[in-house]
Amino acid sequence: MPPAPADFDPPLLDTPDGPIRLRTSDAPRVSVIIPTYGQDDFTLRCLASIAAYPPIAAIEVIVMDDAYPKRQDPSFLQARVAGARIVRNAGNLGFLRTCNAAAELARGEYLFFLNNDTQLRPGAIDALADLLLARPDIGMTGSKLVYPNGLLQEAGGIIWQDATGWNFGRNQDPGRPEYNYRRPVDYISGAAIMIRRDLFETLGGFDTDFSPAYYEDTDLAFRVRAGGFGVVYEPRSVVVHYEGMSHGTDLASGVKAHQLVNAKLMRTRWAEVLDRSHFAGAADLVRAYDQARDRKIILVIDHYVPEPDRDAGSRTIMGVLRSLVGSGWVVKFWPQNRAYSPVYTPVLQDMGIEVLDHRRPDDLGAWLAQRGDALDCVLVSRPSVAMELLPPLLAHRRARLCFYGHDLHFERMHREAMLTGDAGQMRAAEEMKQIERRMWRAFDTSIYLSQEEVDTARKLEPERDFRAVVPYGFADFTHRDRVTPGSTILFVAGFAHPPNEDAALFLVNDVMPLVLAQRPDARLLLVGSQPSPAVRALASAVVTVTGWVSDAQLDEYYGASRATVVPLRFGAGVKGKVVEALRQGVPLTVTPIGAEGIDGLPDILPISRTARDIADDLLRMLNDDAAWLARSHAQTRFAQARFSDEAVRRSVIAALEP
């Protein structure tokens, strides 16, 4: 008996009473291949699920009957299903050969092999097809398999050195973080796998040495990898599988008996690969499920999941995460607030990062006790986060500990106190200085975004290890060949941050009157997330306060602006808004605080110290087309030479290495 059904949303389908109408195409991207041998109820429910949740991708559906002796006439399914190609083998070929025969009939770019004892959940086909379309380096992908009772059947498979297999996550909660990020796997169950048709044909299909079934999917995955392609588990694709209905569960009889025989064949054929790249057994499960025998594993901790379109700190952390993934590291991310973000968490999971939020209920100490021995490095972001989580990190210390400071917080706070004359703020700055020094002494390495900050910290703690990284990187840079018309001035910032709020007030109250005196047509855009009440109150006929905008909208604002400005009066570290303006090629006016940490910037543009200086430089950019073009080109060249994705990656990996 199959397990009792769970409360799926939408619910699992019963055997349909009426006809099933599939939305198929004569020019399919995906060929859905369903081998059958009896079990009409399961087949009909499988087909009904495809009809109920039709993919966006164009599909064809091939139902291949392996000469089931109790029904020799295909009209039974043909009368109940419209849109499928119902084909019957002339004689019984067995599961594996039936799949190969169906593949020869397929016309799609991708082949989706689907057991008949399955039901698709919404989006299952598109998730796999979209991945293959986006990632030409991936040859085969497959679904998360769940039981009808809602428990997990498999989140990708592990093969040990003796060629025995492990269904990762079996009978666990499929919602847990470790089962919900995209990752390379040893194999994916053939119950729901998608492979490029040309690759399948090049490899000769499933190897008939494994006939009639078992290990053919595992051997195929190994051959895909040997051919230079990835085999990747895609958790967005969810398929309910009534395991055992296709071949039974008795290892001593029937088709299932071939499982043990074919395991020996697998071990013999792939002995060198298994011995070199695989683990002996479950004692190494933590590294095995990430294929981490020769890869480093890092735990990255920050206050919440990065929101790179909302704040500069998130942008720098995303740069770190991309650098790690791009360098082949296995990345785990621990948000201090333990919150799952429906917008930002899936972005990390699609990058291949396990996000350890509230879906995994244990605290950091418990997680480290279970998994910490597998870590090579821990990177903790921000002093407040490091202070709170330092005790469990030290209690379970096995890995190298790195502190990512973002900026010298005490320096920023001290500058604000000097500007405002606030004695309480000055005391808070001194307290933060002691906290940061304590972090430097506790961690193996402390990382900052400029050499200038590293030098300052090293003077305070000369015995500690400090390293600088390139904080921002881009894949493309804007080369502007024509002057942008108009008189729009753009200031981009997250306005909940006190330095940015102060800069906006200073810009509107002190600088803009000087600009408007000579260019009454000038207009100011304050663009960025979380504008404070004081910033919102600046809105007028001259000043527009937008609030949060998407990256696409931000690009439009840059493209429509004549000048950019970063009028910071206090702060610390390299400013993302400055680097972004350089990369966009929109002439930048900047203060000494805004320019801080960017070596060579004064060589390409003036540093404006006073309101008068800022206004004069903005007016020059509004009035002088030749100066505008010269600065635009200089900025783009400067950014391209210093702030590429590759520059970030190299600096991050160098900072984390012992």
Q: Is residue 170 part of a domain?
A: yes
Q: pLDDT at position 260, please? A: 86
Confidence band of 256 (pLDDT split at 50, 70, 90)? low
> Is the domain of 325 the same as that of 365?
yes
> Is the domain of 627 the same as that of 592?
yes
Residue 114 neighbours by CB under 8 Å, 6+ apart: 32, 33, 34, 46, 120, 191, 192, 239
Give 635-657 pLDDT, tens digit per residue.
999 999 999 999 999 999 999 99
Q: Is residue 152 part of a domain?
A: yes
Confidence band of 1 (pLDDT split at 50, 70, 90)? very low
> Is the domain of 445 the same as that of 523?
no
| High-pLDDT (> 90) share of the chain, % | 88
> Is the domain of 284 the same as that of 372?
no
> Is the domain of 305 the same as that of 343?
yes
Give me the number of domains the chain comprises: 3
CA distance 446 to 382: 11
Say whether pLDDT at 8 is over 90.
no
Beta bridge partners of 380: 301, 403
In this structure, of 241-250, 494-503, 538-547, the range with the lowest mean pLDDT score is 241-250
Say whether pLDDT at 255 is over 80.
no
- From 548, 470, 134, select the one nearest 309 (Cα to Cα): 548
Q: Is residue 653 part of a domain?
A: no
Q: Is residue 342 part of a domain?
A: yes
Q: pLDDT at position 4, please? A: 47
The sheet with strand 543-547 has its strands ordered as: 543-547, 523-527, 488-492, 563-566, 588-590
Q: What is the CATH number of the domain that holds 428?
A: 3.40.50.2000
> Is the domain of 395 the same as that of 322?
yes
Q: What is the CATH number of the domain that holds 138?
A: 3.90.550.10
> Is the domain of 274 the same as that of 301?
no
> Is the domain of 317 the same as that of 169?
no
Say whether pLDDT at 246 is over 50.
no
Q: Is residue 16 part of a domain?
A: no
> Is the domain of 446 the same as that of 506?
no
Say whether pLDDT at 249 is over 60.
no
> Is the domain of 50 the same as that of 103?
yes
Note down the domain range covering 408: 297-468
Boundary (domain end) residue, out of 253, 270, 288: 288
Q: pLDDT at position 2, please? A: 37
Q: Which amino acid is at 115?
A: N
> Is the domain of 280 the same as that of 331?
no
Q: Which amino acid is at 532?
A: S
Confidence band of 75 (pLDDT split at 50, 70, 90)? confident
Is pLDDT larger for residue 87 or for residue 257? 87
Q: Is residue 7 part of a domain?
A: no
Give 298-337 pLDDT, tens digit per residue.
999 999 999 998 888 999 999 999 999 999 999 999 999 9
Q: Is residue 638 part of a domain?
A: yes
Residue 626 neighbours by CB under 8 Å, 6+ apart: none
Q: Is residue 132 part of a domain?
A: yes
Give 408-448 pLDDT, tens digit per residue.
999 999 999 999 999 999 999 999 999 999 999 999 999 99
Boundary (domain end) residue, out of 288, 321, 343: 288
Say whether pLDDT at 248 is over 70.
no
Are 233 and 157 contacting, i.e. CB atoms less than 8 angstroms apart? no
Look at the block and give the residue holding tokens 């990996």.
653
Tell me what the mean pLDDT of segment 23-42 comes to: 95
> Is the domain of 375 the same as that of 492?
no
Confidence band of 45 (pLDDT split at 50, 70, 90)? very high
- From 123, 114, 86, select the one nearest 241 (Cα to Cα): 114
Write down the mean pLDDT value for the chain.
94
Contacts of range 356-359, beta carbons closer than 8 Å, 24 or more positions apart: 356/177, 356/332, 357/177, 357/305, 359/175, 359/176, 359/177, 359/180
Say whether pLDDT at 238 is over 70.
yes
